[in-house]
Amino acid sequence: MQLHAARLCFNCEEVHDQPVCPACGSDSFTYLSRWIPAADRPARVRELPSRETADTYRQLLEGPKEAAGKHRWMKRGIVGLAAISMAGWAWRRSAAAGGESTSSTTPGALPERPKSGGPDR
């Protein structure tokens, strides 16, 4: 049982870690850490990695210098190709929409409403 979770029952003085005392069923309690100070958990001392180990990890994370340049240009090329494709798609879409908008109505005129023969006339 951890000291920070240990509870002392006020009625039967039983030490437990449950919401209700298992001996008497009372829910009146106080934490033992109120009277007994719990020491902080001992800090583990980390060993510093040797320079050789640190260099190995650094090389694994960075990768070869030549590959980084090639990857950068490849990413830029892919982004450029995507941008050109999107621009072409938008151009074709606007050209197709421009061809369909020609109609007999004048620009700015409201379309004519259909006439209904309902009872409200």
23-52 pLDDT, tens digit per residue, is 998 888 888 888 887 666 666 777 888 889
Q: What is the pLDDT of residues 58-115, one digit of tens each?
A: 888 877 666 667 778 888 899 999 999 999 999 998 888 876 655 455 555 556 666 6
In order of 10, 33, 38, 39, 63, the CA distances from 4 in angstroms are 17, 6, 7, 10, 47
Q: Which residue has the tokens 């449950």?
A: 18
Residue among 6, 14, 13, 12 at smallest CA distance from 32: 6
pLDDT of residue 47: 80
Q: What is the DSSP letter of 22?
A: T
Indicate the pTM of the whole model. 0.32
pLDDT of residue 110: 59
- Over 80: is that where the pLDDT of 5 sits? yes
pLDDT score at 85: 94
110-115-116-121 Cα dihedral, nearest 10 degrees: 90
Q: Report the distance separating Cα 41 and Cα 22, nearest Å.
A: 28
- Mean pLDDT over all residues of the chain? 79
Single-letter amino acid code for the residue at 62: E
Q: Is 73 exposed, middle or buried (0-12, 13-18, 19+ CB in 10 A)?
A: exposed
